[in-house]
Amino acid sequence: MIYNILSFVLGSLLLIGSPLNHAHSSFAPKISTQDTYVEVDTTDEAANKERDVLQPRQFPNEDQVRSEYIVTYISSSTCVVAQMDRHDTIRAFIDQKRLEAEEQNRLFIVRGVSLDWDVEEGFSYLQSIADFDEISVGLNWINREALRLIWGDNDTAIQPRIPVLVIQERDIVSDGPQGPLRLDREDIVEVYQGLDEIEAALDE
């Protein structure tokens, strides 16, 4: 009987050190790691909320404001920038404004508007300039963005002359957990027309 008891105790000790039990114990840290991952996500989300800076592909909640700094480039494949191959000037201007947006804790948005009549030509031209977040192509001076920014009713005089770079600040808010999204503010703050004026802005 004593032999049977000793055998049972010895067998139990061997079972504790068996691979099966190690496999089970190694499973627990995986759960713990997964829980830690969730906690890290929550921390990052709280940090983003504290900074009040949304991600580029993130919509605002009812207690948030999506603050944007927008550069809109209006031109065409036949303008002086294309004819003189001065695309680097436009890219440098966009990069400079990107830094200004970061300093203001605003999301940086780049729009491209081509006034070419031919949509394919205008699209190809914009692709050669920059990686735009939004584009509008076609219909020359009756393009929707030309009608809105140049011919539209705004406080900043913009002449029908290209190339032109329009700088705007825009705030988007949400009226509830499920929206609707609403444009709270959209102001034109700067306008640069003509290649000379754009290059002068780079030298400031």
Q: What percent of the chain has pLDDT over 90?
A: 59
Torsion of CA 117, 121, 124, 130, to 10 degrees: -40
In a domain, 86, yes or no: yes
In a domain, 78, yes or no: yes
Check whether residue 112 and residue 89 sit in a common domain: yes
Query: Residue range 160-177: average pLDDT?
Result: 93
Check whether residue 28 and residue 101 sit in a common domain: no
Average pLDDT, the chain: 79
In a domain, 106, yes or no: yes
Q: What is the pLDDT of residues 22-57, one digit of tens each?
A: 333 333 333 233 333 223 333 444 444 444 678 888
Instruction: Please state the length of the chain.
Output: 204
Could you tell me the residue range of the domain that residue 46 belongs to? 2-51
Task: Give the model's confidence band at 62: pLDDT under 50 very low, under 70 low, under 90 confident, else very high.
Answer: confident
Check whether residue 108 and residue 38 sit in a common domain: no
CA-based R_g, the chain, Å: 29
DSSP code of residue 177: T
In a domain, 60, yes or no: no
Check whether residue 173 and residue 93 sit in a common domain: yes
In a domain, 155, yes or no: yes
Q: What is the pLDDT of residue 53?
A: 73
In a domain, 59, yes or no: no
Split into its structural domains, the chain has a count of: 2
pLDDT score of 133 more than 90: yes
Say which CATH number the domain at 71 has.
Answer: 3.40.30
For residues 89 and 130, give the distance between their C-alpha atoms in angstroms, rounded to a whole number.
Answer: 11
